[in-house]
Structure 1
Amino acid sequence: MRDIFYSILLVAILLGCNSREEELDIRSRFGNFNGNNILLKPVDYLSAPIAKKIEHHPELFNYLNDVQIFSMAYNSDSLMISGFMVQPKKPGKYPVIIFNRGGNQELGRLLIATAIEIMAPFASEGFVVVASNYRGNSGGEGKEEFGGIDVRDNTNLISHLSQIEKADTNHINLLGISRGGMMNYLTLKNYKGDKIKSVATIGGISDLEITLKHHVQMEAVYQELIPNYKYKPKAALQSRSANYWVDKLPDIPFLIFHSKTDEHVHYSQALALADSLQKQGKKVSLHLFENDSHGLEKNRAEVIDKIKKIFVEASEM
C-alpha cells in the first residue's frame, strides 16, 4: 500500500495540473447548502484519468477497497468552497487530517488523483482526511489571498467537521506541503480551540521574504493575490510568515521536513522556525535532508512513516 503513496508523494501537488477532471461550476454540481455546511458526492474515479493507472496496477491500489472517496463542497463565509473527503469504510470514529495543498489558484489544485494517491492511503489506516482548494479555486467561490482571508476556509471547515459522522473532531492533525505549510501555521494562529493535536509540514513556507529572495517568481504571485502588497509589502509578507509570530502558535508537536537543496523554499526558514519554536518551549522535531528535492522524493518513506507515527500518537492523547 505504501509503495504507490511514496511514488507520487508531493509531486502532483507541487507541480500542479491543469487537467479538467470534473466540471468546475460548483453550484451546478452541488446545488445549495439548504441548512447543511458540508455537501458530499461519491467520486466515480473509474471515469477519471487515474483509472488507467489503477487498471494496469491494481495491486498497488488495494487500499481503495477500505475507503470511501467523496468530492466535497462546504460553506465558508457563505461561499461554496471545493475539496475532497476520504474516510474509512468501516463504521467508527476516526481522527481527522486536514491536508493543506501546495501551489496557488489552479496550480496545484486538488484532483481525483490527489484524493486517491495522497489522501486515501492515510484514510485506509484510520483517518478521516479532508482537503480544501481554498476560495476562488477549482470552481470555488470568492478569491484567494495566498494566506489572507482564505485561511478562514480552514477554520470554517474545522467548525463544520461535526457534520461528518465518522470524524472525531476532538483529534485533528494538520499536514501541509509547500504553501500548505504556511496554511498550517496560519490556521493554528487563527483557530480558536484546542482540538488540533499535531502538525506536519514538508518543504513548508514559514518566511515569505526568504521565499521571495530565493524564488523570485513568487513576486508575481504576491502582487496578484495578496491585498495591499503593492503598498505595504513587508507587513503583508510578515503577517503570513510564522517565523515572525511563533509565540502565537499552540503547544503541540511540530514535525518539520525540509531539503537543504530545495530550490523552491529555502531550508533556512525551516531552521529559523524550528529554533524559534524551541526557544518558546514548544515540541519540535526538525528533519533536514541532503541532496533531495522540494518534495523529498528520495526520503519519502522515512518522512511518511514519521508523519503517521506522530498523528497516531496525537490521536491517542
Structure 2
Amino acid sequence: MAGGLKVKGLLAEPKNDKKYDGFLYLRGGIKNVGKVRPGRIVQFASQGFIVFAPFYQGNQGGEGNEDFAGDDREDAFAGFRLLQSHERVKNVHIFGFSRGGVMALLTGIHELEAASIVTWGGVSDMFLTYEERKDLRRMMKRVIGGTPNKYPERYEYRTPLYELDRLDANVLIIHGAKDQNVSVEHAYRLEKRLKELNKNVETWYFHEFTHYFPPAINRKIVRDLANWMKKQTE
C-alpha cells in the first residue's frame, strides 16, 4: 500500500535465514521504458542485500498512475518502510538509476533513517530534464500538467536540490560524462549543492561512458557500490 493505492514491486532475498541490509531499488524511465528487470535486481541481491523494487503506481497491475516523481514518490517511501519492517533487514540503503535518482533523493529527504543513497546516471533537476530532453517534453507536459514556465512549482516539487538541507545520509554519485539521456550536469549540480550544505558526498565520474556502461564495467561498479554502501554502516 502506497498513498492509499495498491502498488506492485519485486522482492529478492538470499535463500537462508541470515539478516542483511535492505536495498531499495528505484528504477528510471516511465511506464514500459526502464521497467524493473529481475536480472538486475538479482545482481544487487547477490551482493548480500534484500532488495525491493517498486514498479511504481499504474504499472504491471498496480493501481493509480505514474506521474514522474510527483505522487508516485509515495511508492518509494512505502517501499523503504516495507524493507524496514522486514524481519531479516538491518539497515536500508537507497539506489536510484536515471529518473530513479530523483526518487532516491526524495526518499532520503523523507526517510531520515536511510543508511546511504546512491544515484547512478541520476536526474537531480527536473527543470534541466525538460530543457535537455526535447523528446520527453510532450510526456512531461502531459504528466506534470504543463511547462516549467507555466507551473514552476510543480517542477520544483520534483527537484530535490531545493530540500537537500534535510538530508542526513551519505551520498554516492555515479555518472558517465558522455551521458545523453541525463547529462552529467545533473551530477555536478547535485554535488555542488551537497557540498554547499556540508553534506557527505562522494563522486565517481567516468569520462568515457554514456548512460549505459559496458557489462563488465557495470558488474564491477555494482560490486564497488555495494561495498561502499556496506562501509556506511560499519
- Corresponding residue to 1:239 among 141, 145, 157: 157
Aligned twin of 2:132: 214
- Structure 1 93/295 Cα, relative in aligned 2: closer, same or farther at 3 Å? same
Q: Could you tell me the TM-score, scaled by structure 1's length?
A: 0.69
Q: Could you tell me the TM-score, scaled by structure 2's length?
A: 0.91
The question of whether the paired residues in 2 share the 8 Å contact of 1:106 and 1:138 is answered with: no
Aligned-partner residue type, residue 15 of structure 2: K
RMSD: 1.9
- Corresponding residue to 1:174 among 94, 106, 120: 94
Partner Cα separation in structure 1 for residue 148 and residue 100 of structure 2: 23
Q: Which has the larger radius of gyration?
A: 1
Partner Cα separation in structure 2 for residue 232 and residue 156 of structure 1: 31
Identical amino acids, percent of aligned pairs: 28
Give 1:229 shift.
5.1
Q: Deviations over 1:160-188 (max 9, x none)?
A: 335533222xx110111101101001112
Give 1:137 shift.
1.2
Aligned twin of 1:265: 182
Matches within 5 A, 1:28-177: 75-110=1-36, 114-115=37-38, 117-161=39-83, 163-168=85-90, 171-177=91-97
Aligned-partner residue type, residue 202 of structure 1: W
Give 1:301 shift.
4.2
Aligned twin of 2:193: 276
Partner Cα separation in structure 2 for residue 85 and residue 256 of structure 1: 24
- Structure 1 162/188 Cα, relative in aligned 2: closer, same or farther at 3 Å? closer
- Structure 1 214/187 Cα, relative in aligned 2: closer, same or farther at 3 Å? same
The question of whether the paired residues in 2 share the 8 Å contact of 1:95 and 1:315 is answered with: no
- Corresponding residue to 1:190 among 110, 116, 124: 110
Q: Deviations over 1:252-305 (max 9, x none)?
A: 211101111111111112111101111211111112212312023374244223
Q: Is there any run of 5+ residues in structure 2 with no aligned partner, and where? A: none
Partner Cα separation in structure 2 for residue 198 and residue 163 of structure 1: 18
Instruction: Single out whichever of 253-262 and 305-314 deviates more from structure 2.
Output: 305-314
Give 1:126 shift.
1.9
Partner Cα separation in structure 2 for residue 162 and residue 307 of structure 1: 21
- Structure 1 308/230 Cα, relative in aligned 2: closer, same or farther at 3 Å? closer
Aligned-partner residue type, residue 136 of structure 1: G
- Structure 1 269/162 Cα, relative in aligned 2: closer, same or farther at 3 Å? closer
Partner Cα separation in structure 1 for residue 204 and residue 55 of structure 2: 27
Aligned-partner residue type, residue 233 of structure 1: Y
The question of whether the paired residues in 1 share the 8 Å contact of 2:140 and 2:146 is answered with: no
The question of whether the paired residues in 2 share the 8 Å contact of 1:88 and 1:126 is answered with: yes
Aligned-partner residue type, residue 217 of structure 1: D
Aligned-partner residue type, residue 280 of structure 1: L
The question of whether the paired residues in 2 share the 8 Å contact of 1:202 and 1:295 is answered with: no
Q: Deviations over 1:115-165 (max 9, x none)?
A: 2x2111322232100000111111110112111111111112222335533
Give 1:314 shift.
2.6
Aligned residues: 233
- Structure 1 160/234 Cα, relative in aligned 2: closer, same or farther at 3 Å? same
Partner Cα separation in structure 2 for residue 131 and residue 279 of structure 1: 31
